[in-house]
Structure 1
Amino acid sequence: MEQNEIDEILDRPYSRELLARDLTRLAYVAKDGTPRNVPIGFTWNGSEIVMCTATNAPKLRALRHRPEVALTIDTEVHPPKILLIRGRAELDVVDGIPEEYLQMNGSYEMTAEQRVEWEAGVRSLYDGMVRIVVTPTWVKLIDFETTLPTAVEELVRRQAERQNA
Structure 2
Amino acid sequence: MTTPDETTEILNRPLSRELLARDLTRLAYVAKDGTPRNVPVGFSWNGAEIVICTAKNAPKLAHLRENPAVALTIDTEVHPPKMLLIRGRAELDVTDGIPDEYLESSGTYQMTAEQRVEWEAGVRSLYHEGMVRIVVTPTWAKLIDFETTLPSAVEELFRRQAERQASGGRSADSEE
Both proteins in one fold, TM over 0.5: yes
Structure 2 matches for 1:7-156, cutoff 5 A?
A: 7-126=8-127, 127-156=129-158
TM-score, normalised relative to structure 2: 0.92
Aligned to 2:160: 158
Where 1:78 maps in the other structure, the secondary structure is coil
Alignment gaps of 5+ in structure 2:
168-176
Greater Cα radius of gyration, structure 1 or 2:
2
Report how far residue 106 of structure 1 moved.
1.6
Mind listing any 5+ residue stretches in structure 1 that lack a counterpart? Answer: none
SS at match of 1:97: coil
Tell me the alpha carbon deviations over residues 26-53 of structure 1, each in whole angstroms, 9 at most, x when there is no partner.
0001111111000000001001000000
In structure 1, distance between residues paired with 2:164 and 2:52 = 46
Quote how far apart the aligned CAs of 1:159 are.
Answer: 1.0
User: CA offsets, 1:69-88, max 9 Å, x none?
Assistant: 00000000000000000000
- Runs of 4+ off more than 2 Å: none
How far apart are residue 122 of structure 1 and its match?
0.6
What number of residue pairs does the alignment pair up? 165
Residue aligned with 2:149, SS: coil
Aligned equivalents of 2:159 and 2:12: distance in 1? 26
In 2: Cα distance, 1:105 partner to 1:16 partner: 17
> Residue type of the partner of 2:20?
L
